[in-house]
Amino acid sequence: MPLYPTPHINAAPEDFSETVLMPGDPLRAKFIAENYLTDAVCINKVRGALAYTGYYKCKKISVMASGMGIPSMGIYSYELYNIFGVKRIMRIGSAGAIRSDIKVRDIVIAMGACTTSSFATQYNLPGSFAPICSYEMLKACTENAEKLGIRYHVGNILTSDTFYTDTAGLTDENLPSSAWGRMNVTAIEMETAALYMTAARAGCEALAICTVSDHLLTGETTSAEERQNSFTDMITLALDTGAELIDD
């Protein structure tokens, strides 16, 4: 195993649980640690990528910010799997819906992740790679969503390299979001494909669940309060699922 601490994570493998929840936003990692975990200890502050380990339903669990975008998620997930011995990462993020049956505040569980990024070229594959989640995590997550009565969709998402995509001169039909929507892709976000590829290469497990924060077809958005409420549903879903998958 390469050496730790790394330039990005100033911790040791035993500081982390085998399961790490990853919101994009460091303040969300802090919020989860302070409001949902017991005995939470901050184990990383490098570059503000806050990480905490504590207990949920008596299981040791970690939460760490991924930052925004594929390169950031690529770095942290690589180090967690390959250097810190983490077995399972669950991204908990937000996404913009591109299908009319998906509403703001719904939860999208990413079975697969298409991407506009060239992240996969590093693997020198003689074809294209289909980034997919862990079936075990997906199954546990949908079972917990049913138990909690949470409205969710399981499907493909798009991990985009751009948030502000230049659509000058394009008609509605020709927008990238319309094209991905025609392929039944549920929503757009910016990290999951990197997580799934890094997990696959490391022989580890990953799942991304996202609350729909805005609708790219209707322009509908959520208020800060609505985002917080749907975020808390997602945290409970992620923590219940994460805790259940940890061996005692």
Q: Catalytic: 214? A: yes
Taking CB under 6 A as the criterion, the residue among 95, 107, 114, 234 binding ligand HPA is: 95
Token representation of residue 238: 């992620």
Q: Is 123 in the site for ligand HPA (CB under 6 A)?
A: no
User: Which runs of consecutive H residues, i.e. helices, occur in the chain?
Assistant: 26-36, 70-82, 135-148, 176-182, 192-202, 224-245
Residue among 90, 78, 53, 118 nearest 203 (CA):
78
Q: Is 213 in the site for ligand HPA (CB under 6 A)?
A: yes
What is the spatial distance between Cα 216 and Cα 179, in angstroms, rounded to a whole number? 13
Q: Is 244 in the site for ligand HPA (CB under 6 A)?
A: no
Taking CB under 6 A as the criterion, the residue among 15, 79, 106, 189 binding ligand HPA is: 189
Token representation of residue 41: 């200890």
Q: Is 160 in the site for ligand HPA (CB under 6 A)?
A: yes
Q: Is 73 in the site for ligand HPA (CB under 6 A)?
A: no
Question: Least CB distance from residue 224 to ligand HPA, whole Å?
Answer: 14
Question: Least CB distance from residue 103 to ligand HPA, whole Å?
Answer: 14
Q: Is 190 in the site for ligand HPA (CB under 6 A)?
A: yes
Question: Least CB distance from residue 154 to ligand HPA, whole Å?
Answer: 18
Q: Is 54 in the site for ligand HPA (CB under 6 A)?
A: no
Nearer to ligand HPA, 161 or 244 (CB): 161
Nearer to ligand HPA, 108 or 140 (CB): 108
Q: Is 135 in the site for ligand HPA (CB under 6 A)?
A: no
> How many helices (H) and strands (E) in the chain?
6, 9
Asked if 50 and 29 count as a contact pair (C-beta separation under 8 A), the reply is yes
Q: What are phi and psi of 154, to 5 degrees?
A: -110, 130
* Choices 76-84, 135-143, 197-205, 212-220; region in contact with ligand HPA by CB under 6 A: 212-220
Of 214, 233, 240, 248, the active-site residue reads 214
Burial call 112-137: b when 16+ CB within 10 Å, e when fewer: bbbbbbebbeeeeeeeebebbbbeeb
Taking CB under 6 A as the criterion, the residue among 96, 176, 181, 242 binding ligand HPA is: 96
Q: Is 214 in the site for ligand HPA (CB under 6 A)?
A: yes
Residue 198 exposed, middle or buried by CB count within 10 Å (0-12, 13-18, 19+): buried
Active-site residue list? 214
Binding site for ligand HPA (CB under 6 A): 94-96, 160, 163, 188-190, 213-214, 216
